Amino acid sequence: MALIVQKFGGSSVANAERLQNVARIVTAEADKGNNVIVVVSAQGDTTDELIEKAREISPDASARDMDFLLNTGEQISAALLSMLINKMGYRATPLTGWQAGFLTDSNHGRARIRRLNTERLENEIGKNNIVIVTGFQGINRYDDITTLGRGGSDTSAVAIAASLHADKCQIFTDVDGIYTADPRVVPGANKLNSISYDEMLELASLGAQVLHNRSVEMAKKYNVRLEVLSSLENKPGTIVKEVSKMEKMLIKGVAKDDNIARISLVGVRDEPGFAFKVFSLLASLKINVDIILQSIGRDGTKDITFTVAADDVKAAVNALNDAQESIGFAKLAWDDNVSKVSVVGAGMESNPGVAAKMFEALSEANINIHMISTSEIKISVLIDKDLAKNAVNAIHEAFEA
């Protein structure tokens, strides 16, 4: 008897018909004699509707009040799915985040999981019940309701799979796996049968939008076997697992991230400690910085440019302007009309031709590169947003050829 964790996103549970489909997938697994823990998101547009309701009341409601509100979305999905599975003659139990044992920090709206108290989950599994857990949520140590932020339901599912040593964690979505590029952008993109955690991590954090990087990081850390597959088509998806370094394929995919903005600090005094001041300030606001580019000093000053998520740019700009004096820079400029395009693939570091090939493709497509960043398994460039689609296609074609 295996233990399977299955996560279904908002579009997979959007209405009664879709829920029927989910119930079929879940009970088929139970019919094999397996224990199943299901993690669900809120139905379709429920979260957006709740946010709209809140905006009507108060445009800047506290993150704590928002968490208290948004929490209800997954609870409705879980209740409905439980009713359906119970009606089919199986035994299902719906559990909220706190009932399932999710203890988080107090970062409302983007909480991190501190601990998963698995007592209740183990208890239900011990009774052979199909457990339906509301994704995306937990409570902090004051018993206040928190939400995990973007990609939270994936993270909930992986946390359960990791804590209970599940045999696999299936992420059902509206695409049938991980592709070499976004199939909506690149028509010729190919589906991958498998991908390593590190490659997936780069793709996820680069905006592949299938799996959130937090869930992949956690899956890697606890060696959880992930599978990304479609809830609508009954066929194998893409397995995310630790793979051998002897992989033949060099490039695993081309990704595009539009949720990005560039901030430049101009005329910084060329003294030690500057970078520390800037990035510790942003870290204290939980703002992640991605690519960092520093100009060579001249006339005792230098410039520094970096990228943050577009969602965070206002908070970052405000905080930096407030601290202009203590940090010491002449001018701040920012721009969110940019995209990041990346190629990802293990073994890239030992093949200098990859970067050259990418830059060649962009050059031939007449696309200007603003920033470049490389890691062992990826190369990213920052370009104008309106050229990003062209760039992805040009790069994909160059590597497929």
The site for a copy of itself (CB under 8 A) is made up of 16, 19, 50, 53-54, 56-58, 60-62, 65-66, 68-69, 71-72, 75-76, 78-80, 82-84, 86-87, 94, 96, 98-99, 120, 143-145
Least Cβ distance, residue 314 to a copy of itself (angstroms): 20
Q: List, in sequence order, every residue forming a beta bridge with 138; answer none if it has no partner.
A: 146
Nearest to 165, CA basis, from 211, 131, 118, 228: 118
Minimum separation from the CB atom of position 145 to a copy of itself (A): 7
C-alpha angle 87/90/91, rounded to 5°?
Answer: 100
Q: How far is the CB of 23 from a copy of itself (least distance, A)?
A: 9
Closest separation in Å from C-beta 249 to a copy of itself? 44
C-beta of 54: minimal distance to a copy of itself in Å?
6
- Closest CA relative to residue 123, chosen from 153, 145, 143, 93: 93
Nearer to a copy of itself, 132 or 171 (CB): 132
Least distance from a copy of itself to the Cβ atom of residue 94, Å: 5
Between CA 98 and CA 95 the distance in angstroms is 8
| CB-based contacts of 373, cutoff 8 Å, min separation 6 | 290, 291, 379, 380, 381
Two structure tokens written together for 59 = 């445009």
Q: Tokens 């947003």 label which residue?
A: 385
Based on CB atoms, which residue is closest to a copy of itself, 66 or 185? 66
**Residue 313 CB neighbours (<10 A):** 20
CA 66 to the chain's CA centroid: 20
Instruction: CB nearer to a copy of itself: give 66 or 338.
Output: 66
Nearer to a copy of itself, 85 or 148 (CB): 85
The torsion angles phi and psi of 35, rounded to 5 degrees, stand at -80, 140
Instruction: Kindly state the tokens that stand for 228.
Output: 């990304």
CB of 324 to a copy of itself, least distance (A): 29
Nearer to a copy of itself, 62 or 234 (CB): 62
With the C-alpha atoms ordered 10, 12, 18, 22, is the resulting torsion angle positive or negative? negative
Instruction: CB nearer to a copy of itself: give 121 or 216.
Output: 121
Q: How far is the CB of 24 from a copy of itself (least distance, A)?
A: 14
**Residue 16 or 283 having the CB closest to a copy of itself:** 16
Nearer to a copy of itself, 34 or 72 (CB): 72
Q: What is the 3-state secondary structure (H, E, C) of 164-230?
A: CCCCEEEEEECCCCCECCCCCCCCCCCECCEECHHHHHHHHHHHHCCCCHHHHHHHHHCCCCEEEEE
